[in-house]
Amino acid sequence: MPKELSVRVVGECCQLATTTMDDAAAARIAPMFKALGDPVRLRLAAMIAAQDEICVCDLTPHFALSGPTISHHLKILREAGLVDCERRGTWVHYWIQPAALQSLSTLLQAPIPR
């Protein structure tokens, strides 16, 4: 087994390499990536991030999907902690959670690109 030959250059790629990605950490973080792993949700997240906040009624027209389906995708983004929302009168407003995006970004970031 070539274990001795693959010299441990730990930490030279990115945080992903140095972070203790045990079972629990993976189970906590994976749902966030999973939420962004759907084209509709990725576009929804981008549209929400592009403004201070945005009404669902402004999101729906951009997709060839029913209201319930958009609502379902928004719920997944919400449960992943990537967005939050509040009802104000008739409309529900969504906004991005920058800290969540930042934590994912840091995880993937390469301080010492090779």
Size of interface with DNA, in residues (CB under 7 A): 26
Alpha-carbon Rg for the chain in angstroms: 18
- Spatial neighbors of 55 by CB under 8 A, at least 6 apart, are 91, 92, 93, 94
Q: Of these partners, a copy of itself, DNA, none, which one is at the site of residue 19 (CB under 5 to 8 Å by kind)?
A: a copy of itself
Q: Of these partners, DNA, a copy of itself, none, which one is at the site of residue 68 (CB under 5 to 8 Å by kind)?
A: DNA
- Spatial neighbors of 74 by CB under 8 A, at least 6 apart, are 44, 56, 59, 83, 85, 94
**Residue 72 touching a copy of itself (CB under 8 A):** no
Stretch that binds DNA, among 6-14, 19-27, 87-95, 99-107 (CB under 7 A): 87-95
Q: Of these partners, a copy of itself, DNA, none, which one is at the site of residue 79 (CB under 5 to 8 Å by kind)?
A: none
